[in-house]
Structure 1
Amino acid sequence: MHILDLAGIAIYFIAMLYIGYRSSKKVQSSNDFAVAGNKITWPILFATLAASFLGGGASMGRAGQTFDHGYAFMFAAMAFPIATMIVGVFIAPKLKKYKDAHTVGDIMEYHYGVPARIFTGVFSLLFCVGILGAQALAIGTVFNILLGVDVVTGIVIGMVVVLVYSTMGGMWAVIQTDVIQFVMLGFFLPLTMYIGIELVGGPGNLVASIPELHFSVMGEYSWGVFLSIFIAFLLGETLVPPYTQRALAAPDSRNAKIGYTVAGAFGVLFCFVSSTIGIISFVLYPDTSPDQALPTLIRNALPVGLTGLVLASLLAVVMSTADSYLNSASVVFVKDIYTRFYEPNCPEEKKLKLERGVNLVIGLGAIAFALMATDIIDALLMSYALWAPTILIPFMAGVLLDIKCNRSAILAILAGAVVTSCWKWGPWDLQGITGLSALIAGVVANISVFITSRKLFSQKPTLMASNVK
């Protein structure tokens, strides 16, 4: 790689570390570390949310899957930005009614009691570590393409930078770096797509060079497989801890609604850009591996100087998601588990130190998870099975319908977890027998048990209404 390209990447890393150092001076409390003092207006909320969910899966993973399966994967994965817009209109504004809430667990406890908070904290932690692992794997893949180092070394280098700035600056650093990363991805990845189309010889030549199946809505997928992927993206990352945390960081309902909705609309556009890059790479570099489709195009097709900036923007995309999940996981552990059940009167200074310490430990756990996953999308789908079949349905029901039924939530969470586990790791091939993925089976079980037990165990609120404005 040319020295100018390496310089561009080095400048990016230095800038991220400097932001972490500057942001550390603003972080005086756990509230600053978790939700940046509730001062995130909608333009910043839009940028940081978009940067967070457009990570390794939405860029490299989607390009790789489109490289393999064509635009059919894009149509299936489009479910996530659609879900984000729906959440922006109907749910995000309602999250601001919960006074002093920092986590999903805060809201779950209000509706379903302390046990629900425990389960929410545990599943939130596992989910965040899993998504972090997917981003760590993406970081390692980029470094492998950039410098020729092995993936494990690349994971360690990239994650160390993320750990340093997110540990020092908390949500303040995460949001500031996300805005920079959003600007980079919003400019350089569409530019990469444009240059790639020109190299292929224009849109007409691109269409002529691709198998017809790559342009169909279903592609080679069966209805069952397509529906499974669609539902996984529709529910798997909806209202997960980092994104809920963004809405809670907004000053009011209006900013939460606009920021979420605009981020979802941008996500639809980004789906097309990253997928088209996968198609272009299929034409120009058919022998590359799918997960390397995007970085390979950047490295080989772009001119000297621009290559380093675009690769830095690719790292920015991945790191923006990693830092969000890292921050959220540490806040979940300290707020939902440690201070709630071990040291309720934990001093603010100690709480902040704990969040920073846990930030480091969870980052190491994410590296371990990354080494177990076979590819980026596999890591994402493994993580989605920890969220949608357990926490999502009771959480949405509580926020939208103001339901308060402790037993219903606990039974639904347990049912979803057990059914998902049996489907995924049980001795029988239940997916092959039924045609349902583990995530869909878990969600169906969760909804069924929640509705049934709600009718059996309906109860009055058990917590003080003072928790809500």
Structure 2
Amino acid sequence: MALDLFVVLIYAAGMLVLGYYGMRRAKTHEDYLVAGRNLGPSLYMGTMAATVLGGASTVGTVRLGYVHGISGFWLCAALGAGIIALNLFLAKPLLKLKIFTVTQVLEKRYNPMARQASAVIMLAYALMIGVTSILAIGTVLQVLFGLPFWVSVLLGGGVVVVYSTIGGMWSLTLTDIVQFVIKTVGLMFILLPICLYRVGGWDQLVAKLPASNFSFTEIGWDTIITYFMIYFFGILIGQDIWQRVFTARDEKVAQYAGTFAGFYCILYGLACALIGMAAHVLLPNLDNVNNAFAAIVKASLPDGIRGLVIAAALAAMMSTASAGLLAASTVLTEDLLPRLRGGKQSSLNINRLFTMLTGIAVLGIALVVNDVISALTLAYNLLVGGMLVPLMGAIFWKRATTSGAIASMTLGFVTALVFMFKDGLDASTPIYYSLAAGLVSFVVVSMLSPRPDASVARAV
């Protein structure tokens, strides 16, 4: 494994070098948070796709493919569909606002209290997005190199924290482009063909797996619908994704390049599901299906090539980890910290300090959570249950009021927590009941509250 470790170390060093170049370009507050709002089609498409496809969508989809066959791709399909919808229908009005966070929309439409309440929910979501990918990084390094899990988390996650802290969005953009290329080559053009070759080709894959593994609905319609309820709508309102939208040079870049990124996500999900299916044939008796990705890489690839594919997996995980980290830091410095500082806005140095502190918190949480899919589900349940209804209402319903928005956020968030505790993270009840509670409270309280001023209703 010495050659593989060398390749991975070269990759990690490259990420730090790109982080340094990002630091040199991040000269202002706007550069640090949204890359100066000046990304063209190639950079925008690469960074958008890299942000969405992280540890859960890579390791998690391979696991789903191992267990459910080709239908495991629906997780990535829901994410890709969300990216397409966001860039086609919401990017144009968002870019006109010249804002930094999702919650600023709520302040424009409601009042500062709504912004503060929603910032707490968004912070919890962004932290868990970072945690899921740090977890995946730790799992891969642990299985492949035999490192203790805590060492794997601190080493892999530490690289992410360093390059995210020093250069902000410019570092993330530069690293995302390289990560996009590496994971495309490593997973779709190296690992997938080699796995199929070792199985004996497509015909042997079909012969050695039950027919149900090739059904696109094997995973179950309830799971497919739940994925769309959680991940499709989560993409539409997530700070990590909106922050990428804010980097686009103009609406045309967002619409065309963003749509391409969405379709790429769907193809990526199909590739990862097929890798999981091949892993089931080659390694049918895994003790822990969560390790399906790392196990198939270790078993099927030669030295050196294995290192490149490990780097590809780490690329997917690091891009999403850094996105969640910067999103959480941005919510802290733009939405919550000014409240404590008497309205004083954050500076570039404050942004860097809080990105570092947020990174330390993410590493700490990753050491006590152990399931990437569950962590991702937790994050999206809280986000969609607490934020979807009031945010969509802010954009599309002129009768919406601040009282209705706060009631919806509170009840939706609490309901999601209650049903996750009661029925488990894999249940569909948390998202359905939280959305129902949020919608009913939003409409009822808004209708019972005084009608908002017309100028406020037109704010977004």
Q: Same fold (TM over 0.5)?
A: yes
Q: Does structure 1 residue 370 correspond to structure 2 residue 375?
A: no
Q: Which residue of 1 aligns with 2:20?
A: 21
Q: Which residue of 1 aligns with 2:453?
A: 460
Give, in whole Å, the separation in 2 of the partners of 1:45 and 1:76.
Answer: 22
Match of 2:326?
Answer: 327
Deviations 1:359-392 (A, max 9, x none): 1222222223323334110110011111001112
- Per the alignment, residue 309 of structure 2 pairs with 310
Aligned residue in 2 for 1:449? 441
Tell me by how many angstroms 1:33 deviates: 1.0
Deviation (angstroms), 1:239: 2.7
The separation in 1 between residues aligned to 2:428 and 2:142, in whole angstroms, is: 36
The secondary structure found in structure 2 opposite 1:103 is: coil
Aligned 8 A contact 1:9 1:308 in 2: yes
User: Which deviates more, 453-462 or 201-210?
Assistant: 453-462
The Cα RMSD (Å) is 2.2
Separation (CA, whole Å) in 2 of partners of 1:149 and 1:107 = 44
Contact (CA 8 Å) 2:377, 2:425: kept in 1 or not? no
One-letter code aligned to 2:407 = L
Report whether the alignment pairs 1:292 with 2:287. no
Q: Give 1:445's aligned amino acid.
A: A
**Distance in 2 between the 1:453 and 1:313 partners?**
49
Q: Deviations over 1:147-173 (max 9, x none)?
A: 100222101101111111110011000
Structure 2 matches for 1:25-174, cutoff 5 A? 25-75=24-74, 77-99=76-98, 101-174=99-172
What secondary structure, in the 3-state scheme, does the structure 1 residue paired with 2:367 have? helix
Single out whichever of 44-53 and 395-404 deviates more from structure 2. 395-404
Q: C-alpha distance in 2, partners of 1:359/1:268?
A: 31
Secondary structure (helix, strand or coil) at the match of 1:372 reads coil
CA distance in 2, matches of 1:295, 1:183: 20
Letter in 2 for 1:210: L
Deviation for aligned residue 1:61: 0.9
Q: Which amino acid aligns with 2:101?
A: T
Distance of aligned partners of 1:461 and 1:345 in 2 relative to their CA distance in 1, 3 Å threshold:
farther
**Taking structure 1 as reference, are residues 340 and 402 closer, same or farther at Cα in structure 2, changes over 3 Å only?**
farther
- Residue pair 1:113, 1:462 contacting (<8 A) in 2 also: no
| TM-score, length of structure 1 as denominator length | 0.92
Say whether residues 1:387 and 2:379 are aligned partners. no
Could you say what secondary structure the match of 1:344 adopts? coil
Q: Quick one: structure 1 residues 149 and 227, their matched pair in 2 at CA, closer, same or farther if it must change by over 3 Å?
A: same
Measure, in 2, the Cα distance between the counterparts of 1:86 and 1:463: 26
Q: Could you give the per-residue CA deviations for residues 267-306 of structure 1, whole angstroms, max 9, x where no partner exists?
A: 1111101111111111111233222222222222123222
Which residue does the alignment assign to 1:206? 205
**Within 2, Cα distance between the matches of 1:403 and 1:172?**
39
Residue 464 of structure 1 deviates from its aligned partner by: 11
Give the 3 Å change call, closer, same or farther, for CA 179–381 of structure 1 in structure 2. same
Q: What are the superposed Cα offsets for residues 222-268 of structure 1, whole Å, 9 maximum, x if unpaired?
A: x4444333422222343300110111111222222223211111111
What runs of 5+ residues in structure 1 fail to find an aligned partner? none
**Conservation of the 8 A alpha-carbon contact between 1:237 and 1:387:** no
1:360 and 2:356 aligned: yes
User: Which of 397, 402, 407 is equivalent to 2:393?
Assistant: 397
Look up the match of 2:278.
280
Identity of aligned residues (%): 29
Query: Using a 3 Å threshold, how does the CA distance of structure 1 residues 167 and 203 change in structure 2: closer, same or farther?
Result: same
Q: TM-score, normalised by structure 2?
A: 0.93
Instruction: Classify 1:225/1:271 alpha carbon distance in 2 versus 1 (closer, same or farther; 3 Å).
Output: closer
Q: Which moved more, 1:284-293 or 1:162-171?
A: 284-293
Instruction: Tell me how far apart the structure 2 counterparts of residues 400 and 49 of structure 1 sit (CA, whole Å).
Output: 25
Residues 1:407 and 2:399 are matched in the alignment: no
SS of the aligned residue for 1:102 comes to coil
2:177 pairs, out of 179, 186, 211, with 179
My pick for the range that moved more, 327-336 or 145-154, is 145-154
Quote the Cα distance in structure 1 between the aligned partners of 2:258 and 2:152: 32
Q: Is the 8 A contact 1:111 1:461 kept in 2?
A: no
Give the Cα–Cα distance (whole angstroms) in 2 for the partners of residues 461 and 205 of structure 1: 65
Alpha-carbon spacing, 1:342–1:232, altered in 2? closer, same or farther (3 Å): same
1:213 and 1:220 in contact (8 A); partners too: no
CA 297–406 in structure 1, closer or farther in 2 if over 3 Å, else same: same
Structure 1 residues 159 and 203, CA gap change in structure 2 (3 angstroms): same
Partner SS state of residue 381, structure 1: helix
CA distance, structure 2, for counterparts of residue 134 and residue 431 of structure 1: 14
Cα distance change of structure 1 residues 300 and 334 upon mapping to structure 2, 3 Å threshold? same
Q: Give CA deviations for 1:64-100 in whole Å, capped at 9, x if unaligned.
A: 122122233323552221122112211122211203x
- Do residues 269 (structure 1) and 282 (structure 2) align? no
For 1:238, what is the secondary structure of its paired residue?
A: helix
For the residues of structure 1 that align with 2:183 and 2:233, how far apart are their CA atoms?
A: 25
Between stretches 84-93 and 130-139, larger displacement belongs to: 84-93
Task: Render the CA deviation track for 1:140-199: whole Å, top value 9, x for unaligned.
Answer: 011112310022210110111111111001100000000000011111111210111111
- Matched letter for residue 161 of structure 1: V
Flag the 1:67–1:431 CA change in 2: closer, same or farther, 3 A.
closer
Moved more, 168-177 or 386-395: 386-395
Contact 1:113 1:463 in 2 (8 A): no
Contact 1:137 1:151 (8 Å CA) reproduced = no
Shift of 1:402: 6.2
1: CA distance, partners of 2:252 / 2:406 = 32
After TM superposition, give the deviation of residue 463 of structure 1 in Å: 5.3
Shift in CA distance, 8/443, structure 1 to aligned 2, threshold 3 Å: same
Counterpart of 1:184 in structure 2: which amino acid? I
Q: Is the 8 A contact 1:94 1:399 kept in 2?
A: no
Q: In the alignment, which of 246, 255, 258 is matched to residue 256 of structure 2?
A: 258
> Who is 1:229 aligned against?
227
Residue by residue over 1:448-467, the C-alpha shift from the partner in whole angstroms, topping out at 9 and shown as x without a partner, is: 222333333331257598x8
One-letter amino acid of the structure 2 residue matched with residue 35 of structure 1: V
Cα distance in 1 for residues equivalent to 2:86 and 2:148:
39
Q: Which runs of 5+ in 2 are unaligned?
A: none
SS of the aligned residue for 2:357 comes to helix
Quote the offset at 1:63 in angstroms: 0.5
Report the number of matched residues. 457
